[in-house]
Structure formats: C-alpha cells, structure tokens
Structure 1
C-alpha cells in the first residue's frame, strides 16, 4: 500500500459576497477533487491546537502526526534544518523576511506601514544580492544571516534569547510601530536595513519594472533547535517530502524524511506543479518509498495577497496540474494507495492571514464505494458531521489500511 498527502497550503477560506457567497475552494473548477470526493471520506479537522498561533509550522507538524504542543519550538529553527544551519543548544534562529514598507520620507521608520510580506515574491537571485548587503553593512556581532528561498531567509543569534515577534503577513497595511522588536539590537538592524535597501540598485530596478521593493528586513518566528522523532520509526513508513518551502523541508530533515528538490518549484502561483507530481510518483513507484507528502504553497500566498482570482487559479492548478497527474499514474500502476487531500489552515481573502478554523479533508481509497460527497469543499465537510479535534491523529487514519 502506498500513501500520499497532497496539501494545498491555506486553501480553505470563508464565503465571499463577490463570488456569490462561495469560498474560493467552492468557486474553483476542481473536477479531479470533486470526482475523488464521491469515493472518499469527507470531514473537518483542526490542525492548530487551541491557544497556538495558526501558522504553517504548527499546522504541518500536525498533518505529519507531530503534536505541536509537544514538538513545536518555533518556525525558524525548522527552516534552519532545511538550510543546513547547525544550531547549538543556546542559539536562537529567526525568520528574516524581505518585506515591502511604505517609503514616506516625512515619517520615521516606526511609522511606515507594511505593504507586502513577500516583496512581490522577490526571486532568490535578487534576494541574495540584498542579503550580501545586509551581511556587510547591517549585521551586528553575534549574528549570522543565511539565504533561503525568495523572500524567506534566516537570522541566527549565537547564545541569543527567544521572544514573541509578529509575522509580517498578520499585519499587512498596518503601521509597524507597535509590532517592532523590543530588543535594541534586532530593532537597530531592521531600521538600518531599511536605510541601506530602499535605494539599492536592485530595488530601484524593481520599482522601474512595476515591482515592489524589498526595502526592509523583518525578523519573526524565533526559536531553539527542535527535536522530532524519526518519521519512519514512528510510523513504519519511508517517506519523501516535496515542497519549495524551507519550513517543510526543515520538518522533513528533522524527522528523517527524504527531501526531493524539484526544479522550478518556487512556492509561487506558477510553481512546477507537474514536476512535483512526477517526483512523487517516481518516489512511490520506482524508488520504493511508502509515503509522499506533496506541499503546494501557492493558495496561501494568493490568500495573503488578497486576490480572489489568483487564489482560485492556484486551487485549479493544484487540481489539474498535480492531483490529476498523481491519481492517473497511481491508477495506471495498479498499486493500491490511499490519498489524503487537505489544507493546513485557512487563509481567508478578507483576513489576508491564517486562521485557526477547522479545514476540510478528503480521504480517498479506491476500494471505497461511491457514497461520498458531491464535491470537496468547506460546505460538504461541515455537512458530513465528521470532525477530528486533534489533527495530529488524522495521519493515523490514513495509515489504518
């Protein structure tokens, strides 16, 4: 038996008047998921424990069967594992976003507003140039800066201390003053980053092209080195992780799963969906792995952008350019398999950030008779009457047969 999880990050949402009271998942044309829904168990699952922040970090730990209340030590340490940063016992790592702030010359740094948490999804090449400038002109002694992917990077504080900091995607359009770090060194580096980046040639070129500048570093997601039980020892399944996002690669590295790198997979709307699908099929059918986790970031990113059209398109791409390919290949192989499709958390368009609400899941098994739901969406999940409160148990349900 082969097992597959396909995760559309932030795919769930809330009804919107502009599309007739539907969610973006309902609005999207998803013939593949709707076809599977008729032969699947549909239900709701809560991936974020009560009282914890609804991040992709806590939620994806749950999806993989790790109780976040036990194993979560912060988002950035998981990303550090992916990048290959060795953390000592007393080190603290932070996510370093390259963000877009307003550039009102009449206002101090503290009174600028946050425009975009991703600087128009800046490419890794341009981000790397800006990070070198930060290393040379901004970093203080005791800190190290490491390049990640796109706007997502890592700050390591040797013998540092943890603190609560606000994710930039939670405060889009807000004045930043009340969300800045209280630590004077972190704050000084953020302010200095704004000074050196806003007139940098990379950003001047981006603005000339109609793109948002990456004009400030933003630190958040602090934590210490995580310790995750080995996935294969825990479940008995040899697993692979397919994702463009350092967070997911870090969870895989920390749990002993193989990380599959897919060319052209960048976490954006036009990521390499087909390449991810083909890599999963190859791992399962040719390389003998038991379990594949395929993570797609695009619906979440489009939710943060507040774009109904782009989020709908991301879900449709996921359906036709990834799920369909995986399903057809697995069916053709004759290999028995079970498939779980779900988001990790909602990213509603109106909120433009994550919520902790339960998400719809679809659990498909070819042996199941056609007595499922008419379609896969939040509405049919609610109508099913099924709800798993502790999301970290859902993978056990996937592995039951």
Structure 2
C-alpha cells in the first residue's frame, strides 16, 4: 500500500469579513478534499506542544512523527540539515532572514519578513558578499534560497546568545523591533556584525533587503530514521529548506522540483509528477505546499482561498485520479493556522483527513475547520497523528 501525506501549510484560519465571515477553507471550492472527507475520517490535531511556539518547524516535525519536545533544537538547525551543513556539536545555527525594516534600531519597525520575496539570484550574492567582507572565525554566513539563509556561530551554544528569545520576523510585521534590538545588543560583537551586514545591504541598494534578522538558533539536529520508525521508504517534496532538512535528517529521500517556489505560482504539476514517480518504488511521500501560509502572512484572504483551491485541484485531485486503482492511504491537513487577521501562526488544533482501507466514513458534506470539530475526533499530540493514520488505514 502507498501512503500520501499532503500538507497545505498554514491553511487553517478564522472567519474573515472579506469572505462573508467564512474561513478561506470554507470559502474555497474543494471537491477533492470534500470527497476525501466524506469517505474517510475527519478530526482535529494539536500539532504544537503547549510548551513551544507555533512554528512550521515544530509543527512539521510533529507531523512526520517526531516529538518536537524531544528532538527540536531550533529552526536554523533544521534548515542547515537541508544543506548538509557540517557543524560542531556546540555550534549555534541561526536561521537568517533578509528583511525590510524601517530603521534598524530602537525605533524600528519590521516592514517585510521576506524583503519583498527576494529571488535567490538576488539574495545569494548578497549573503556571499557578507561572508567575504564580515564573516570571520566565529561567524559564517551561509547562502540559502530566497530570503531564507543561515548564520553559523562557532561554539555559540556555549555563550549567552544561545538563550536569546528573538521574535520570528513574520510574527512582528508592521510592529516595533525594539525588544529584539535590545536582545541582540547584549553581545557587542554580534551587534556589530548585524550593523556591518546592514551596511552591505544598504550600499547594494538594488533590492528591498536592508537588514538581516537572525532567529531560531540551536545546536545541530539529530533525528531517528523514518524508515526504521514506520517501516516505509519515504520521501519529502517541498520548496522550502525546512521540510528538506527534516527529510535529510531522518534519512528520507529529498526530491527537488524545478519551479517549486513556495508561493502561489509554484510548480504544482511538477510536485505531482515527482510524487508519482517516487511511489513507483517507494512507500510514503510527504508533499508540502507553502502557498496558503504565505497568503496568510500577507493578510490576503482571497489569495489564500485561491491557494487552497489550487492545492485541491492541482495536487490532491490529480493524485487521487492517478492512484484511483491503487491501494492507497491518504492523510491531508495543515501544519498550523496562519489567520489572515493575525498574519502569523497560532496554536489552534488543525483539521485533518485520514482516508484509506479500514477507515470508517464520516459522511460529512465538506472539509472545513467546523466540520472537523463536529466529529469529536481529537489527537492531542501532533507526533501521534501519523501513527494514528497508519493504524486506521490498515485493513
């Protein structure tokens, strides 16, 4: 039997006035998800432990069956795993956004966590320039993709910055950055590095990136093997290094799809083709779509509705059709909510669908946050959802 786990990042939401007080999922036309819900099990899952912040790193680690409270060390280390970055056990790996700020000081405001969704061809030379001009024996700038990069601090886990609680930039859009500036400034060397990097970006002047924002720091990541845990040869398909890092760290195949952007215009058909190709020899594929989350951060409910419809019509529907005559198990959900009115993540338990041999039919008319509530099925620990789905889809 083949197992498909499809994740629409940040799909969960709250009712919005612009959508007639419906959520984007309620407003979207989603016949493939509705059919899957009607013939399968539907419920809610708490993907974020009570002790941890609601991030995609925490949530997707849980969705893949790993307890974040046991294995999570930070956002940066997960993305470092995607690049096969070799770091010392006491090194501190920071996720480093290229951002747009209005004043990089006590009176500053975070205007854009992604520097206008800067393209990799623009961002990579900037990060390489920072490494050339201000990188040193302690701090190394590591290029990633788009606005997502890394800063490695040698033996930083032994210093005070290891405990710095820095806001993810997407959590403080159009809000003051003074709290974080004060925390950065506790280490004069670190503070000087940030200012020097800013000068490089400002002098460049050809993009909206005018500052760096290190956050999500931690020691290198170590996960047990996915195949050993679940007895399935697995793969992950995503545009973002976060998901790729989880795949690499757990010994899964990581499939790159040309044209996968993490945005509304991603290569949906390429992801479907890659998933089907892998399943010719593999057992399990985790297909991740970032688009709904980015629309939530943008505060645009109409675009988010469109992102959900594309997930349904251009990912789930063609996969269902291609595998209609195959014995297949399905798990569909989001990792967390990204409400458009909040423009950041929340801890709301996410709606999910489990469908496959052995599943009881819910007979629901549709798949929404409300319909998932109505069944009374609730998974309290996010890392228990995949084992639950595996058990329920066995004959």
Q: Same fold (TM over 0.5)?
A: yes
Partners of 1:191 and 1:174 lie apart in 2 by 20
Superposition map of 1:204-215 within 5 A: 213-215=208-210
Partners of 1:346 and 1:394 lie apart in 2 by 17
Residue among 319, 323, 328 paired with 2:312: 319
Show the counterpart of 2:177: 176
CA positional deviation for 1:49: 0.7
Partners of 1:190 and 1:128 lie apart in 2 by 17
CA positional deviation for 1:65: 0.7
Superposition map of 1:55-134 within 5 A: 55-102=55-102, 109-134=105-130
CA positional deviation for 1:302: 1.0
CA positional deviation for 1:28: 1.4
Partners of 1:112 and 1:192 lie apart in 2 by 17
Show the counterpart of 1:258: 253
Show the counterpart of 1:220: 215
Structure 2 alignment gaps of length 5 or more:
none
What's the TM-score once normalised by structure 2's chain length? 0.94
The 10-residue stretch of structure 1 (304-313 or 149-158) with the greater mean CA deviation from structure 2: 304-313
Say whether the 8 Å CA contact 1:59–1:345 is kept in structure 2.
Answer: yes
Partners of 2:294 and 2:306 lie apart in 1 by 12
Residue among 268, 272, 277 paired with 2:272: 277
Residue 277 of structure 2 corresponds to residue 296 of structure 1: no
Equivalent residue of 1:98, what SS?
A: strand
What's the TM-score once normalised by structure 1's chain length? 0.93
CA positional deviation for 1:15: 1.0
Superposition map of 1:2-401 within 5 A: 2-102=2-102, 109-161=105-157, 162-163=162-163, 164-180=165-181, 181=184, 182-203=186-207, 213-284=208-279, 286=280, 288-331=281-324, 334-365=325-356, 371-400=362-391, 401=394
Partners of 1:230 and 1:370 lie apart in 2 by 32
**What do the CA deviations read for 1:236-293 (whole angstroms, capped 9, x no partner)?**
1100010111111111111000000100012111111111111111111x2x111000
The change in CA–CA distance for 1:73 and 1:368 in structure 2 (over 3 A counts) is closer
Say whether the 8 Å CA contact 1:42–1:372 is kept in structure 2.
Answer: no
The 10-residue stretch of structure 1 (223-232 or 194-203) with the greater mean CA deviation from structure 2: 194-203
CA positional deviation for 1:330: 0.8
RMSD: 1.4
Say whether the 8 Å CA contact 1:341–1:362 is kept in structure 2.
Answer: yes
Say whether the 8 Å CA contact 2:41–2:361 is kept in structure 1.
Answer: no
CA positional deviation for 1:391: 1.5
**What do the CA deviations read for 1:336-378 (whole angstroms, capped 9, x no partner)?**
0110110000000011110111000011226657543111110
Equivalent residue of 2:339, what SS?
A: coil
Partners of 1:247 and 1:42 lie apart in 2 by 27
Say whether the 8 Å CA contact 1:98–1:214 is kept in structure 2.
Answer: yes
Say whether the 8 Å CA contact 1:39–1:366 is kept in structure 2.
Answer: no
Equivalent residue of 2:86, what SS?
A: coil
Say whether the 8 Å CA contact 1:81–1:253 is kept in structure 2.
Answer: yes
**What do the CA deviations read for 1:161-180 (whole angstroms, capped 9, x no partner)?**
31222110111111211112
Partners of 1:236 and 1:136 lie apart in 2 by 45
Equivalent residue of 2:127, what SS?
A: helix
Say whether the 8 Å CA contact 1:140–1:189 is kept in structure 2.
Answer: no
